[in-house]
Amino acid sequence: MTTTTAAPAATGRRAPRRQTLARRQAVWGWVFALPATLHIALWTGFPILVAMLLSLTHYDMLNPPSWAGISNYTAIANDPLFWRAMWHNLIIAAVGIPVSMLLALVLAVLLNQGVRGTGAFRTAVFLPHVTATVAIAMIWLWIYSPGQNGLLNYVGGFLGIPNQPFLNSPSQALPAVILVTIWQGLGLKTMIYLASLQTIDQQLYEAAEIDGASAVQRFRHITVPILAPTTFFILVTSIIGNFQTFDLIYVLTSGGPANSTTVVTYEIYETAFQQFRMGLASAQSVVLLVVLVVLTVLARRLTGGRDD
């Protein structure tokens, strides 16, 4: 009887201790997260708030802001150049991101096989990501250069292909820019996929192979589902990075020819620092933020909502 009555008492004493421990862990969790939270609030949250306020004003950096209401957003709604720039971003994202993610996954699977020379090849694949974008743009300017001075036209001459204008052509400039974005972003995506592949338990593949699953079936039913959170992360960061593209466009094309490669960030730069319409540029930035939030939600739906 003594043992029977003592057990509930011991359990009752243990419950408050667990609650106290959980409370203490939560407090310390907030303490450790506080510096990062303050950093985000100061350098991200506050600028976003200021941009939202400035988007409701007329401001040229020389005179005090004056209230404009929603006139800046009305101007954006009626600005075909801004929406053309937005459309170019969507094209670059819709074409470049899936292609680069597919190539990155294929390269990651190959690198994960442990073949000889993997380290050197991994370095070569990752090198474009750590190289300055301006340097990359200058290299591709030479590659795309019209006439026999450009590498592509020089090689094409041996194959009997006539010289192409590439960046000087309104129809070829945007595909040429998309190719550069795919090449530049391939390395980081490959390394992220490779790191995720190396965390998969090989016993899963061995068990599936014993059950008679083919290589394609193992890839489809084991690799792809396990990589779903990684795919979501790469997709979201790629979308955000795509809409932040500026220096590549600035050096390669400056939005030309005939605004065929202008993107949203370049249009915001033109509005803010060429036309000095900071209020309108802030409104464009807010619209861009809303578009990114919507695309992130859509990306989460496309990947099954698995972002854990």
Residue 152 lies in a domain: yes
pLDDT tens sequence across 52-102: 999 999 998 888 999 999 999 999 999 999 999 999 999 999 999 999 999
- Quote the Cα angle for 264-143-85, to 5°: 10
Tokens representing 120 are 């050197």
- Say what the pLDDT of residue 268 is: 95
Which residues, 6+ apart, have CB-to-CB distance to 306 below 8 Å?
Answer: 228, 229, 232
Tokens representing 34 are 């506080």
Cis peptide before 16 (omega within 30 of 0): no
Residue 23 lies in a domain: no
Looking up residue 225, the CATH number of its domain turns out to be 1.10.3720.10
What gap in Å lies between CA 185 and CA 101, rounded to an integer? 9
- Structural domain containing residue 248: 80-302
Residue 289 lies in a domain: yes
Residue 285 lies in a domain: yes
Residue 308 lies in a domain: no
- Say what the pLDDT of residue 1 is: 46
Of 173, 293, 191, nearest in space to 239 by CA: 293
Of 161, 106, 136, nearest in space to 245 by CA: 136
Compute the residue count for the chain: 308
Residue 34 lies in a domain: no
- Below-70 pLDDT ranges, the chain: 1-15, 303-308
Contact predicate 180/95, CB 8 Å: no
- Say what the pLDDT of residue 39 is: 92
Domain count, the chain: 1
- Say what the pLDDT of residue 304 is: 62
Q: What is the DSSP string of 217-237?
A: HHIIIIIHHHTHHHHHHHHHH
Residue 123 lies in a domain: yes
What gap in Å lies between CA 244 and CA 89, rounded to an integer? 9
Q: Specify the residue for token string 């073949």.
A: 115
